[in-house]
Amino acid sequence: MLTLAEKILFIIATLVSLYFTYTGVMKITAHIGSGQGKVDWSLIPKRIGELILKVGLFQPVFRFRLVPSILHGLIGWGFLSFLLINLADLIYAYTGFKLLEQTGLFGDVYRLLADFANIAIILGILAMAFRRFVLRPTTLTTRADTLLHPKARMGIMRDSAIVATFIFIHNIMRYLGESFGVALAKQPDAWQPSISAVSKLWAGMDASTLVAGEHIAFWLSIGAVVAFLPYFPYSKHIHLFFAPMNFALKPERKSIGQLSYINLDDQSIEQFGAAKMKDLGWEQIMDSYACIMCFRCQEVCPAYNTGKLLSPAALEINKRYHLNNGGTTDVAMTELISEEAVWACTSCGACVDICPVGNEPMRDILDIRRNLSMMESVFPKQLESAFKGMERNMNPWNVSQGDRMKWADGLNVPTIEQNAEPEILWWVGCAPATDSRAQKTAQAFAKILNAAGVNYAVLGKNEACTGDSARRAGREDIFFGLASQNVEILNEVAPKRIVTTCPHCLHTLKNEYPAFGGNYTVIHHTQLINELVGAGKISMNLDGDNMKVTFHDPCYLGRHNKITDAPRDDLKSAGIEVVEMPRNSAKSFCCGAGGAQMWKEEENGTARVNETRFAEAKSTGADTVAVGCPFCLTMMTDASKADGGNIQIKDVAEIVAERLK
C-alpha cells in the first residue's frame, strides 16, 4: 500500500503522462481524419463474433509462422489478463484491498491465471527479443534496395528494444512485487505456485525490507506503464488499439480484392486515385498505425520474393514513420513507394490475406495506379495495346468482336439469341474466346456441358471484357465503360446463374458489378463441374493413365473468392492423384499475371514470378500442373516451355473432358 506522499506523486505523474499521451493520440486522430470517407460505427455490433475470434484468440496471427505466433499468443493473452491484474494492483496500492485475494473463488482462480500470465509474458518477450536481436532473421527486415524511411531501419530495432524492455520490466517487477507480498504473509499461496516458489528466496528478510521491496516493485512495474504511455502512440505497440479498430470498422467488402466504386458520370470529381496520402481512405491511413512491422506481408509477396523493389510492409512503415517524424498526409505517395514498386504488384491479395492486423497495402498500390494512369497518364507503355484493345474491340487481345465465337466453330454452343432462358449463362471470357491456348479450355468445358445436358447459353458477340485488367492498371474510365455496358446487357438477360471459366471474370461479375446495379449469382466452372459430377450428370473413365497432378490455385479463385475445394474434387472425381505444393489454397503463390501484369513485362528482379511458381510445382514430382484460370494457363505454360516442356499444363476442364465416358 502506498503512503500518502506516494499516492499524490503517482497521481501527478499519471496526469502528466496522460497529457502527453493525449497530444500524441490527437495527432493520430487528425491524420486518420484527413483521409477520405467516413467511419461507419454501425459495423461494430455486426462484427462482435468476428472480433472475439480475431482479437481475443489472435486467430489471424496463427495462420503463419507458428512458433513466433505461439510466443505472441503468450504475450498477448497475458496482456489481456493484465488489464484486470493492473487494476487490482492499483486498487491495492491506494486502498489496501486485494481484489484478487478477498473475493473468494474468483480471486483464487484469477491469482492462478495471473501467476501463469506473468510467466507467459516474461518467457514470451525474452524469446521474441532473442529472436529479433540475436537470431535476427531476414524475414524481420527488408532488403537494402527497398525504399524505406531513413529513420525506419534503425528505428524499428530501437522501437522493438523499447517495447521489449518496457514489457519485461513491467512484468518482472510485478512478479517480484507479488513474491515479496507472499513472503510478508509468511505463508505460501497455493493459487500462485511459481510466485510462492520465488518468495522462499526472501524468507530471511525482515518485514520492513519486504515492504520496501513491494513499493519499489510497484513503482517500477506500474511506473513503467506510466512512463511508457506518452511513447505508446509512436510505437508499434499501438497496434493493440488499432488492430481491433481495423477489424471492427473496415468498410464492408465482398472480397479482399473488391475496389471502391467511382462514379465517372459525376463531373464534380477532380481527383482520381491517390496522389497524396490524404487521398487514401481514412482506414488506409489507419493501416499505418495498425502495422506491427512483422513483415509477414512482404514474406508472401510474389514481387518481393522474386527480387522486385516492392515491399508492402515498407509502404505501411513509410507512412507511419513519415507521420511520426512530423510529416503530414499532404505527402506525395511516390515519396513513400517508388513507381517501379507500384507497377510490380500482381494484385494477388497475399499481403491483405496474411496480415494479422487487417491491413490492406494492395489497396493503396491500386489507388496510386489510379492516380498515375488517370491523372498523370503515367503507366508502363506495354499496357497501351491492352488498353486500346479494350477500348476499341472490348478485349485486351484486340481481336475483332465479330470473331468472338470462332472458338466454338464445329461445336454446339447456343447463344442467348438461340436459347433465351437458359438455366446457366456461361460468361466465356476474353481469353477463352480469343487466345488460341485458352480456347482449348472453352472447348473442353463446352464438351462437358453438352455431355451433361446442361441448359446453357453464351452471350456470343454481345459479351465484352469485364474490365478487370483495366481496373487493376488504374484505368477506371475503361473499366467504368465496360462494366456499365455489361451490366446493362446482363440485366436485360436476367441470368439465373452465371458460370465463368476465368477467376478474374468471376471476381468482377460477383464482387464489383453490384456497385453498378448488377447483382448476380456467379460460380466458377470447376464448381459447376463438381455439381454435375455430384448429380450424376457426367461420369468419367477411371481406367485411364495414372496421372499425378498438382493444382495451382489462381489468386482470384482461392484467395480472393475462397474457392479451393471444387477444382481438387473435380480432379479426384476423374481418378487423378492430387499432390499439393507447399504453398496452396488461400496461401498459393501467384503465377505473375494478375494486376494487369499479363500485358506488360515484369519489373527487374532476381527471378520471374511464373518460373518461381513452376519450380514449386515441379518439386512435387507431378507430371501435370492443373489450373483454373486462363492467365495461369499462359504463365505456367511459358514457364514449362522455358524448363524444357516436360510437364503438361492443363485446365481442370481439359482433364475432366479427356476422361468423360
Local confidence band at 477 (pLDDT 50, 70, 90 cut-offs):
very high
Please report, for the domain that includes residue 342, its CATH number: 1.10.1060.10
The secondary element (H helix, E strand) that includes residue 161 is helix 152-185
Asked if 547 and 574 sit in the same domain, the reply is yes
Residues 508 and 593 grouped into a single domain: no
What percent of the chain is modeled with pLDDT above 70?
99
Predicted confidence at residue 383, as pLDDT, reads 97
Cell of 282: 481514412
Same domain? For 431 and 314 the reply is no
Q: What is the CATH number of the domain that holds 642?
A: 3.40.50.10700
The 10s digit of each residue's pLDDT in 413-434 is: 999 999 999 999 999 999 999 9
Q: Which of 234, 328, 322 is nearest to 25 (CA)?
A: 234
Q: Which three cell numbers stand for residue 292?
A: 506491427
- Mapping DSSP to helix (H, G, I), strand (E, B) and coil, where does residue 474 land? coil
| Mean pLDDT to the nearest integer, 423-449 | 97
- H or E stretch covering 426: strand 424-427
> How would residue 544 be classed by pLDDT, with cut points 50, 70 and 90?
low
Q: What angle do CA 195, 196, 200 make, to 5 degrees?
A: 115
d(CA 638, CA 649): 10
Residue 659 has a pLDDT of: 94
Show the domain range for 47: 4-140+152-247
581 vs 654: CA distance, rounded Å: 21
The pLDDT assigned to 330 comes to 97
What's the confidence (pLDDT) of residue 201? 93
* Higher per-residue confidence, 76 vs 424: 424
State the chain's mean pLDDT as an integer: 95
Mean pLDDT to the nearest integer, 174-179: 93
Cell of 612: 518461381
Q: Is the pLDDT of residue 99 over 90?
A: no
Same domain, 365 and 438: no
The residue among 611, 495, 633, 614 whose CA lies nearest residue 557 is 633
Mean pLDDT of 548-571: 97
Q: Identify the band that residue 85 occupies on the pLDDT scale cut at 50, 70 and 90.
A: confident
Residues 461 and 579 in one domain: no
Per-residue pLDDT tens over the stretch 240-249? 999 999 999 9
3-state helix, strand, coil in the chain (%, to 5): 60, 5, 35
Cα–Cα distances (Å) from 366 to 273, 360, 438, 476, in that order, read 8, 11, 27, 11
Domain end (from 378, 407, 434): 378
CA distance 228 to 222: 10
pLDDT mean over 188-212: 92
Give a yes or no: residue 291 inside a domain.
no
Residues 512 and 559 in one domain: no
What pLDDT shows up at residue 421? 95
Determine the average pLDDT of the residues in 612-634: 97
Q: Does pTM top 0.85 for this prediction? A: yes
Residue 542 is predicted with a pLDDT of 85
| Axis crossing angle, helix 66-95 with helix 152-185, rounded to the nearest 10 | 50
549 and 615 inside one domain: yes
User: What confidence score (pLDDT) does residue 249 get?
Assistant: 96
In this prediction, residue 329 has a pLDDT band, given cuts at 50, 70 and 90, of very high
Q: Do 209 and 222 sit in the same domain of this protein?
A: yes
Give Cα separations from 392 to 216, 315, 387, 454 (angstroms). 77, 36, 9, 34
Residue 440 sits in a domain of what CATH number?
3.40.50
Q: Is 282 among the domain residues?
A: no
pLDDT at 84: 83
Residue showing cell 465496360 = 482
Q: What pLDDT, on the 0 to 100 scale, is given for residue 601?
A: 95
How many alpha carbons lie under 13 Å from residue 217 in its C-beta half-sphere? 21
